[in-house]
Structure 1
Amino acid sequence: MKRHLRFKFFLILAVVLICIYGVIGLPTSKAQLVTNWRKNIHLGLDLRGGSYLVVQVQQQDAFNAQAGVLTDRLKELLQKQNVTYSEAYVDEAKSLQDAMKAAIVVKGVPATQAGTFRGIVSDNLSQWILTPLNATDYRLTLRPSDALKTWQDVLTDTKNTLDRKINALGLSEATVQQRREDRDSELLVQLPDVDDPARIKQILQTTAKLELYDVKGGPYATREEALAQNGGVLPIGTKLIGTADINGKSGGIYLVSSTPVVRGPDIRDARAQQGQLPGRWDTGFVLSQDAARRFSTYTGSHIGQRLAILLDNKVLEAPVINGQISDSGVIEGAATQQEAADLALNLKAGSLPAGLVYEQEETVGPSLGADSIRDGFFAGIAGVLAVIVAMLIYYKRSGINATLALVLNALILIACLSYFDAVLTLPGIAGIILTIGMAVDSNVLIFERIREELRAGKAIVPAVDAGFSKAFLTIIDTHITTIVSCAILFLFGSGPVKGFAVTLVIGLAANVFTAVFVSKVIFDWELSGPKPVRALSI
């Protein structure tokens, strides 16, 4: 065997071994082989069964919250600079479509202080556009470029938080992905092997924003009472927060500091624990080292005062600080162990930057997935066998060449799906079947070219070389055209269409290697024997 042919043979062998390893690894038993196969080949929900959720991120919540934080900051800055105003509030966005229109409105700024007011906004809120409404009133809106960045940041943060929640639930193969790019607000959540996602939906939808605030006053029955008790204007650095409804009743309103003592990201760990009362469960949490240091200093200097525990911007309780607390705390009131455990999971995963609304939900039963796998498998096997028989009948021994290339093509395709962690769906199986057809078409082009060269009177070796060289450009042309079409499908298609496009592109790339390179090596090996080949079986 010539040196260059030996090198090509070992290259093909290396590709085969790498592909086999990617699909089944290095099993030591039949059971491990099956386990490795299932681990490496990821089946989609339509084949495996599970739940499919489409959630819409309520971006207006994040934009309104951002405007609220900056409004409090602006109030503090104005009061420090002795700039008077009658009121400052957030003109909230009421819908997702108007999310970027959330604005800060400041009224009653004297004309004599307009310059100072503009300077404060310019120096501290540079991302916001200041628009005068009249001589004394102003409106601040987020710059379009910063609004777009905030939009994408909220979507990314939401996706990452959902990923952490799903991982904490032990759903390692579940996926969260953005449905489309740009200003889309929808995320696709796929939960394999989950046929009743009610609890998971509740956990994913829970914002779980935990904060601890210094209580400055209250509880008050109404907002008006709170304002009246403080001379009609809230003190600098404070805000009003309502309590969570318990059994349909509200516990009133508290005046708290604008800046929390502890935020959600400060939590290092959380877990459910037995409550002090029989049958009750609490959620204990542990703070990070830096937060624990701050919390210890705060509680040590505020003994006898109240600390408000807020969950999702509602006061759960406002206990009195009886002593210095170092790095932990307890949230009471869970009715069941599961409720306490779910709250702990949400606290560890982090709070959502915006609320979620479920737009769509579909559940595919495991039996339907198994039926799809069986039907798709039998359809694929039947198609491959029919193609192999036809190639053997029509091209005789050269049909074996085409069959080997076809099998290697399929092996490379499946291995690539494994290495890329791609998900195989029914449209993906359709892409595999189409790849088989195009692989056979490439072999037909080459074999017919070889036949033409032989009929023209050429010797076998030159005829084979000419057949491959002349068919090569045609094969490349058809494959590039199809890959361009697949790229368009991938860019503008939905999930199943993208799966079809990815599978087909991988198959086409593998086909160029097997049809042009592998088939040629097999012919060269057959023709390089010690005895000259008098007739080519084709």
Structure 2
Amino acid sequence: MLQFSKFKVTIILGIILLGIIFSAPNLVPRDKLDSLPGWVPKTVISLGLDLQGGSHLLYEVDTSKFLNERLDSVVNDIRDKLTKGTTKFGYLNLGAANGVVSLTLRDPGQAEAARPLLQQATTDMDLQIGSDGKVTAQYTEETLRRLKAQLIEQSIEVIRKRIDQTGTKEPTIIRQGEDRIVVQLPGVKDPEHIKSIIGTTAKMTFHMVDEAAEVSGQPSPTDMVVKVRNPKSDGAAQLIVQKVPLLQGQNLTDAQQSFEGGGQPVVAFKFDSIGAKKFGQATAQNVGKRFAIVLDNEIITAPVIKDAILGGSGIISGSFTVQSASDLALLLRAGALPADLTVIEERTVGADLGADSIEAGKKACLIAIVLIVVAMFALYGLFGLFANIALVLNAILILAGLSALGATLTFPGIAGLVLTLGMAVDANVLILERVREEMRHGRSPVTAMEAGYREAQATIIDANVTHIIATLFLFEFGSGPIKGFAITLLIGVVTSFFTSVYVTRLMTSVWLRRSRPKLLPL
């Protein structure tokens, strides 16, 4: 147990060296760190919301509106399939209410012929067709849960993209419950601008203006009336456009704030290949007509198509400022939210409170280390000194692990660090007490030390495995601060096992070979 090959020694020393390298950036000021060569590790531990202050936002996702929009889409799909195929089917009272799409076939005898078309339009829905021609379709509970889960995950991804583009570092964005999202923004003292960025749905669509309906003032069932944002004094406050969009915002690949010839801020956009083809075809077929660019149920602009736009790019003009044009471009790049968000809780954590937490954490760690060092040295002498050196290396390795992961340190994380440091010497206590027992049985120093490490190792492994299992459950089922505590504890369990078993054993082996004592100073 006390024999180490050169390869093992190299591995142990290499791990310690890597720990020092990855933990060192935390001691270097950010400006100096950025000036170092690119190969130097620069990832540091970020302070969480409770340590450096910032904003805490709790959003509720409007799942009901999202599901209603899906049902409306199903209604439109059913209308198209029943009326635009080679065989047409008459129907009455097509619509969606209370989560159910329903209609009545004029001829119940056509029910089986219409079934394949209805099944295509109601994918993932429970379709029922009665003998009287009554048709109903609704989502099952399992499908609803899956759709809601997808909605939340998609919303989190869009929020993350938007926040990343604002330059906010280390945000925490997690799901809470069935339909809520927690957003924590460390260092952000005034979240109003970011709230406006997060909360804007940014759903962009392109619709043709129904000129005939505009003249008559009577929209058809396939039209919708949309408000015009910032209408000119001689312009209409609303326009009638076709419900089915020519194109949707998901075909956008880029959007940037730019300027027109007169210096007016605009948003320049570009479509992907599919969007460019659709946009080119739509503009070629509608030269001389108006099309409306609709953002979140408001028309930004409704220009006349003068020529076919075949390049897959264009500009959005309106009453923009440089900031509003830049924000819109950011939203379009990040993508549209699939559903509306509502802020139901907002908190701002001051930097003073975070500073108090950091100071308390420093004191707790310092007191814990001092007491452990004194106790180990008093109880075990030289071998207590070896355990204390391993304790310091353990703290360095924990910092290195957190830095390498780019982890965010919270106050519960500090608690996990203190707990880990206290647990780090447990293995050494088990080993050294076992060595004392072997010495009482008359074993030689080398034999007693080998027996102590060998017999205690199984117990140490069992204890660490149980800690890891408990920590994994905390990480899997916890959220926010609990995850931070679990990550710190998990890294600490692994590093403490390494330092307590391998590092102290290496130091002990080197000391025994050099001093060859007749008795152990225990």
Q: Common fold, TM-score beyond 0.5? A: yes
Residue among 91, 95, 100 paired with 2:97 = 91
Q: What is the correspondence of 1:170-185 to structure 2 with a 5 Å cutoff?
A: 170-179=167-176, 184-185=178-179
Taking the aligned partners of 2:120 and 2:484, their CA distance within structure 1 comes to 49
Residue among 275, 282, 295 paired with 1:291 = 275
User: Where does residue 98 of structure 1 map in the other structure?
Assistant: none
Kept in 2, the 8 Å contact 1:218–1:255? The answer is no
Q: Secondary structure at the match of 2:209?
A: strand
Q: Deviations over 1:120-142 (max 9, x none)?
A: 11244332211247824322112
Q: Relative to structure 1, is the Cα distance of residues 404 and 288 closer, same or farther in structure 2, using a 3 angstrom cutoff?
A: same
Q: Deviations over 1:103-126 (max 9, x none)?
A: 322235431222222231124433
User: Where does residue 242 of structure 1 map in the other structure?
Assistant: 226
Alignment partner of 1:268 is 2:253? yes
Residue identity in the other structure for 1:254: I
Residue identity in the other structure for 1:32: K
Alignment partner of 1:72 is 2:76? yes
User: Where does residue 408 of structure 1 map in the other structure?
Assistant: 393
Unaligned ranges ≥5, structure 1: 93-101, 228-233
Taking the aligned partners of 2:51 and 2:351, their CA distance within structure 1 comes to 8
Q: What is the correspondence of 1:122-521 to structure 2 with a 5 Å cutoff?
A: 122-132=119-129, 135-179=132-176, 184-217=178-211, 225-227=218-220, 234=221, 238-244=222-228, 251-252=237-238, 254-256=240-242, 258=244, 260-274=245-259, 281-326=265-310, 327-334=312-319, 336-521=321-506
Q: Secondary structure at the match of 2:4?
A: helix
After alignment, is 155-164 or 346-355 more displaced?
A: 155-164
Q: Relative to structure 1, is the Cα distance of residues 27 and 393 closer, same or farther in structure 2, using a 3 angstrom cutoff?
A: closer
Q: Relative to structure 1, is the Cα distance of residues 433 and 337 closer, same or farther in structure 2, using a 3 angstrom cutoff?
A: same
Taking the aligned partners of 1:34 and 1:381, their CA distance within structure 2 comes to 30
Kept in 1, the 8 Å contact 2:249–2:332? The answer is yes
Q: Relative to structure 1, is the Cα distance of residues 296 and 132 closer, same or farther in structure 2, using a 3 angstrom cutoff?
A: closer
Q: Relative to structure 1, is the Cα distance of residues 147 and 535 closer, same or farther in structure 2, using a 3 angstrom cutoff?
A: same
Taking the aligned partners of 2:447 and 2:179, their CA distance within structure 1 comes to 60
Q: Secondary structure at the match of 2:289?
A: coil
Cα distance, 1:325 vs. partner?
A: 2.8
Q: Relative to structure 1, is the Cα distance of residues 494 and 163 closer, same or farther in structure 2, using a 3 angstrom cutoff?
A: closer
Q: Secondary structure at the match of 1:126?
A: coil
Kept in 2, the 8 Å contact 1:5–1:525? The answer is no
- TM-score scaled to structure 1, two decimals? 0.86
Q: Secondary structure at the match of 1:334?
A: coil
Alignment partner of 1:43 is 2:47? yes
User: Where does residue 99 of structure 1 map in the other structure?
Assistant: none
Kept in 2, the 8 Å contact 1:23–1:37? The answer is no
Cα distance, 1:484 vs. partner?
A: 2.9
Taking the aligned partners of 1:134 and 1:214, their CA distance within structure 2 comes to 40
Residue identity in the other structure for 2:22: G
Q: Relative to structure 1, is the Cα distance of residues 37 and 394 closer, same or farther in structure 2, using a 3 angstrom cutoff?
A: farther
Q: Relative to structure 1, is the Cα distance of residues 252 and 419 closer, same or farther in structure 2, using a 3 angstrom cutoff?
A: same
Kept in 1, the 8 Å contact 2:169–2:186? The answer is no
Taking the aligned partners of 2:240 and 2:31, their CA distance within structure 1 comes to 62
Alignment partner of 1:532 is 2:516? yes
Q: Deviations over 1:73-118 (max 9, x none)?
A: 11011112311112322225xxxxxxxxx33222354312222222
After alignment, is 19-28 or 463-472 more displaced?
A: 19-28
Kept in 2, the 8 Å contact 1:306–1:319? The answer is yes
Residue identity in the other structure for 2:442: G
Kept in 2, the 8 Å contact 1:19–1:412? The answer is yes
After alignment, is 45-54 or 266-275 more displaced?
A: 266-275
Residue identity in the other structure for 1:261: L
Taking the aligned partners of 2:97 and 2:31, their CA distance within structure 1 comes to 63
Q: Secondary structure at the match of 1:304?
A: coil
User: Where does residue 14 of structure 2 map in the other structure?
Assistant: 14
Residue identity in the other structure for 1:60: S
After alignment, is 295-304 or 280-289 more displaced?
A: 280-289
Taking the aligned partners of 2:58 and 2:26, their CA distance within structure 1 comes to 38
Q: Deviations over 1:216-259 (max 9, x none)?
A: 34555999x324xxxxxx4xxx4424324658x9834524152x
After alignment, is 363-372 or 204-213 more displaced?
A: 363-372
Q: Secondary structure at the match of 1:505?
A: helix
Residue identity in the other structure for 2:362: F
Taking the aligned partners of 2:517 and 2:50, their CA distance within structure 1 comes to 51
Taking the aligned partners of 2:502 and 2:172, their CA distance within structure 1 comes to 37
Kept in 1, the 8 Å contact 2:170–2:408? The answer is no
After alignment, is 30-39 or 349-358 more displaced?
A: 30-39
Cα distance, 1:165 vs. partner?
A: 1.0
Cα distance, 1:305 vs. partner?
A: 1.4
Q: Relative to structure 1, is the Cα distance of residues 26 and 392 closer, same or farther in structure 2, using a 3 angstrom cutoff?
A: closer
After alignment, is 197-206 or 462-471 more displaced?
A: 462-471
Residue identity in the other structure for 1:368: L
Q: Percent identity?
A: 33
Kept in 2, the 8 Å contact 1:218–1:254? The answer is no
Cα distance, 1:276 vs. partner?
A: 7.9
Q: Secondary structure at the match of 2:56?
A: strand
Taking the aligned partners of 1:434 and 1:478, their CA distance within structure 2 comes to 15
Residue identity in the other structure for 2:49: L
Kept in 1, the 8 Å contact 2:293–2:299? The answer is yes
User: Where does residue 64 of structure 2 map in the other structure?
Assistant: 60
Cα distance, 1:199 vs. partner?
A: 0.9
Q: Relative to structure 1, is the Cα distance of residues 451 and 367 closer, same or farther in structure 2, using a 3 angstrom cutoff?
A: same
Kept in 2, the 8 Å contact 1:27–1:33? The answer is no
Kept in 2, the 8 Å contact 1:449–1:467? The answer is yes
Residue identity in the other structure for 2:339: A
User: Where does residue 522 of structure 1 map in the other structure?
Assistant: 507
Taking the aligned partners of 1:422 and 1:270, their CA distance within structure 2 comes to 32
Kept in 2, the 8 Å contact 1:218–1:253? The answer is no
Taking the aligned partners of 2:405 and 2:320, their CA distance within structure 1 comes to 44
Q: Relative to structure 1, is the Cα distance of residues 256 and 29 closer, same or farther in structure 2, using a 3 angstrom cutoff?
A: closer
Q: Secondary structure at the match of 1:194?
A: coil
Taking the aligned partners of 2:347 and 2:300, their CA distance within structure 1 comes to 35
Q: Secondary structure at the match of 1:191?
A: strand
Taking the aligned partners of 1:117 and 1:511, their CA distance within structure 2 comes to 68
Q: Relative to structure 1, is the Cα distance of residues 29 and 364 closer, same or farther in structure 2, using a 3 angstrom cutoff?
A: closer
Cα distance, 1:388 vs. partner?
A: 0.8
Q: Relative to structure 1, is the Cα distance of residues 380 and 47 closer, same or farther in structure 2, using a 3 angstrom cutoff?
A: same
After alignment, is 203-212 or 442-451 more displaced?
A: 442-451
Kept in 1, the 8 Å contact 2:394–2:499? The answer is yes
Q: Secondary structure at the match of 2:91?
A: coil
Residue identity in the other structure for 2:81: L
Q: How many residues align?
A: 512
Taking the aligned partners of 2:238 and 2:389, their CA distance within structure 1 comes to 77
Q: Secondary structure at the match of 2:387?
A: helix
Q: Secondary structure at the match of 1:63?
A: helix
Residue identity in the other structure for 1:45: L
Cα distance, 1:358 vs. partner?
A: 1.8
Q: Relative to structure 1, is the Cα distance of residues 298 and 493 closer, same or farther in structure 2, using a 3 angstrom cutoff?
A: closer
- TM-score scaled to structure 2, two decimals? 0.88
